[in-house]
Chain A
Amino acid sequence: MIPEFGHIALVIALCIAVLQSVLPLAGAQQGNVAWIATTRPLAHAQFFFLVISFGCLIVAFLQNDFSVKYVAMNSNTALPTMFKVAAVWGAHEGSLLLWSVTLGLWTSAVAAFSKTLPNAVVARVLAVMGMIAVGFMLFILLTSNPFDRLFPAPLNGGDLNPLLQDPALIIHPPMLYMGYVGFSVAFGFAIAAMLAGNLDQQWARWTRPWTTTAWLFLTMGIALGSWWAYYELGWGGWWFWDPVENAAFMPWLVGTGLMHSLAVTEKRGLFKSWTLLMAIAAFSLSLLGTFIVRSGVLVSVHAFASDPARGLFILIFLGIVIGASLTLYAYRASSLETRVGFAPFSRETFILLNSILLVIAAGVVLLGTLGPLVFGAFDLGSVSVGPQYFELVFLFPMLPLVLAVGVGMHTAWRSANPRELFRRLKWPALGALVAGVLIPWLVFGSVSLLTAVGVTIGLWTVIASLIDPAKKVVGKGPRITRGMVAMQLAHLGLGLTVLGITVTSAYTVVTDESMRPGDTREIGGYTFRFDETLPITGPNYEGIQGVFTVSRNDTELTQLKPEKRVYRVQTNPMTEAGIQGGLGRDLFIALGEQLGRGAWSVRIQYKPLIRFIWLGCIVMVIGGLVAISDPRYRQRVTAKAAADGATATA
């Protein structure tokens, strides 16, 4: 019965979403207060029924109800409980339901935390989000129902893909979805503003915290995914430029641009049409990402479902949602011109440069991701676009971007004095340059041009972010607002990530060795001794564990225990790397094949500064948290602002 409840709850949620996309919008456009008043109750009700539906699916998993096809395919009685819960979103149908629940959560959150906004605005925003919800729930019910029954029910299930049986995978998809579904709020605000024909600085102030919140979830989600790939896929890479990764990265790039552009729109009333376009683009790319992952148009390591019928549905849905919003944009954007200027050397110019470069970066990723598809679609030829392509072309927008960050954050609004800025920044910049060349050379013995550039701009961004706080500590700095702290933290994080990427790419030592128990190897100044192998038995797998002792200068540091597992149901051998992490470096061992006569193939890696990649992301997220904690986003609409809102229609 429980799966049927879940199914019915989903149908009810769909009906509510239909109402939510019609009534509030009609009310807002016609000034019908009673209809507008339905907005918030409908939003909460939709979320409520989605939670019930989702809960029913979780229960079906916990009860091992293999008469539900989706459960039978993705779970097993021997699967540990926490992975049973994660298995709910481990495959296509359930992950779409999670998508919908996430959208419901955002919808409900907007309804709850928008008390200070005019009701008509909230009505329009939630109506737009309701339309997205209708599309997704229809998609689930028509093509991918997770509650479909299976008769006769099998005695046991097909188990969750062993790759996904990992703690990080419990929170990675929800984080990621919170991120890119979260851009639906900014999208909703953008459409609402265009429908109302009114976009002012107040609008930007409302939109900013929602965008930042979505962005920080997405940052977290991407970082977790990369971390998971690093230790779970088993060969020590942390980013593969796989279509699925790109699908999450493109909205992140545009979303980052959107946050910056929104700041200008809020502060200066500028870049309105550009901000709108990025709000539409960030969410459109999220939808596109869903399309890329779900429909099998691209070959990828982790795409779970390939089905043209599903693909066609999403394509039509994308066509309607994005097509309609861009048409509306074409119709409205020209009326949003503002006659406000700024000097060529000013914060505005830098932020414009920033968002243009971020959009170009997203465009380059899009080109490489969809390029093979385009050539295939027109029978031009088959081509692969891999890391070697992306790593090269991505540098062109990214190098100038990161270089500009440190300058831009010290540039004044409206008009800045380049000479004064040069005087202030020349020593920090020179320091970054000298350190960027010398430090890698002294520590690692050699330095290439690209590495020196990478370390320099990474250090430069870190130093530039710390100049003002350092002055403050010494007691002669300017007042630092919470918004500035947020910005400094986020940019500090960026600098750390750039440092991590550069150093780990340049100085990782990898070696594949054939080792017998008792053998030792020296890598990166560490001695690795292969002690023994032990059989291991997990709840749903068997395996072999290698025991390695790592020492440095005859001092034992740690034991690393890489594993090779064979899961009972899906019998693919899985590699669990043995990693000793540290801020300065990771030591990484993966166990390969048994080579005979007691020997094993072993991959040993020394990866300097790799943790900086994720540490930087964490610092960025903290920056985002500080930004949304700014009390000015919770101020009531003042009489003046409300009046501005009413008259600012261009």
Chain B
Amino acid sequence: MIRALTFSLLLWLSLPAHAIDPSDKLEDPVQDELYQRITEEVRCLVCQNQSIANSTAPLAADLRREIRRMIEEGSNETEIKDFLVERYGDFVLYRPRFRSWNLVLWLGPIVLLTVGFIALVVNVRRRKNLPVDEDAP
């Protein structure tokens, strides 16, 4: 697969300065809530591990604007995320979507819990029949 290299850190070293954008408010509280939630979940691609809600990078501002526009035009969460993933790939979302290759992220915790539960039951059942103290009969 062909990969692309993000720019040298010298150009893009972004300190976690946070974006405070008072224009970032939507009139409709439901839409505003959706806007906040989505921008918190979209990764700023040119920053080091920051969401676009918290980034001052120009690209993050552009993406906020685009998300805002889509919400105002009535797009729902899935449509907006599809729009972003289509353009920037799965990397753009902080909560990974289900894909065949990343199923382990979502199945892993379930498998761990199941294995843990089985281990607990097996151990407890085995110990149940043993003497409570070593020197007890």
Contact = CB atoms under 8 A, between A and B. Distances in A.
Direct touch of chains A and B (CB < 8 A): yes
Interface of A: 162-163, 233-235, 240, 242-243, 269-270, 299-301, 338-344, 348-349, 352-353, 356-357, 359-360, 363-364, 367-368, 371, 374-375, 379-389, 392-393, 396-397, 414-415, 512-514, 572-575, 590-593, 595, 601-603
B11 interface: no
Interface string B100-121: 0110111011101100100110
B18 A590 contact: yes
A386 B116 contact: no
Contact of A235 (B54, B101, B108, B109): B54
B127 A341 contact: yes
Nearest to B41: A388
Nearest to B47: A301
Nearest to A235: B18
27 contacts: A163-B16, A235-B16, A243-B49, A341-B127, A342-B124, A342-B127, A348-B127, A352-B120, A352-B123, A352-B124, A356-B119, A360-B109, A363-B112, A380-B101, A381-B89, A383-B90, A385-B94, A385-B105, A386-B41, A386-B51, A386-B94, A396-B110, A396-B113, A397-B109, A572-B17, A591-B20, A601-B20
Given A367-B109, A371-B104, A389-B105, A383 B96 contact: yes
A340 B112 CA distance: 27
Contacts of B129: 341
Contact of A357 (B1, B54, B116): B116
B20 to A, nearest CB: 3
A274 to B, nearest CB: 9
B15 interface: yes
- Pick from B16, B90, B91, B119 the residue with the most CB of A within 10 Å: B16
A426 B115 CA distance: 31
B101 A375 contact: yes
Contact of B20 (A344, A356, A593): A593
Chain B contact patch, size range: 35 or more
Contacts of B130: 339-341
Contacts of A235: 16, 18, 54
Contacts, number: 173
Nearest to A340: B134
Given A340-B130, A396-B110, A591-B20, 9 more contacts: A299-B49, A342-B124, A342-B132, A349-B124, A381-B101, A382-B89, A385-B94, A385-B96, A512-B22
Contact of A389 (B1, B19, B95, B119): B95
A234 B18 contact: yes
B105 A367 contact: yes
B130 to A, nearest CB: 3
Contacts of A389: 94-96, 105
B50 A301 contact: yes
B134 A338 contact: yes
A382 B94 CA distance: 11
Nearest to A395: B109
Nearest to A271: B123
B92 interface: yes
Contacts of B127: 270, 340-342, 348
Contacts of A381: 89-90, 99, 101-102
B125 to A, nearest CB: 8
B102 A375 contact: yes
Contacts of B23: 514
Contacts of B108: 363-364, 367, 371
Closest 8 interchain pairs by CB?
Answer: A386-B94, A341-B130, A592-B20, A514-B22, A388-B95, A235-B18, A380-B101, A382-B91
Interface string B43-73: 1000011110010000000000000000000
A514 B15 CA distance: 23
A414 B132 CA distance: 6
Contact of B105 (A368, A388, A601): A368
A352 B122 CA distance: 12
B93 A384 contact: yes
A595 B120 contact: no
Contact of A301 (B16, B20, B109, B124): B16
Interface string B7-32: 00000000111111111110000000
A352 B124 CA distance: 9
A243 B19 CA distance: 22
A383 B102 contact: yes
Contacts of B89: 381-382
A373 to B, nearest CB: 12
Nearest to B92: A384
A594 B15 CA distance: 19
A35 B132 CA distance: 42
Contacts of B25: 512
A269 B132 CA distance: 11
Nearest to B51: A386
Contact of A602 (B1, B20, B54, B92): B20
A25 B47 CA distance: 49
Contacts of B24: 512
B104 to A, nearest CB: 7
Contacts of A348: 127
Contacts of A392: 95
Contacts of B102: 371, 375, 380-381, 383
A379 B94 contact: no
B9 to A, nearest CB: 9
A234 B17 contact: yes
A340 B132 contact: yes
B128 interface: yes
B133 interface: yes
B128 A344 contact: yes
A574 B48 contact: no
Contacts of B41: 386, 388
B18 A396 contact: no
A81 B23 CA distance: 42
B74 interface: no
Nearest to A379: B1
B132 A364 contact: no
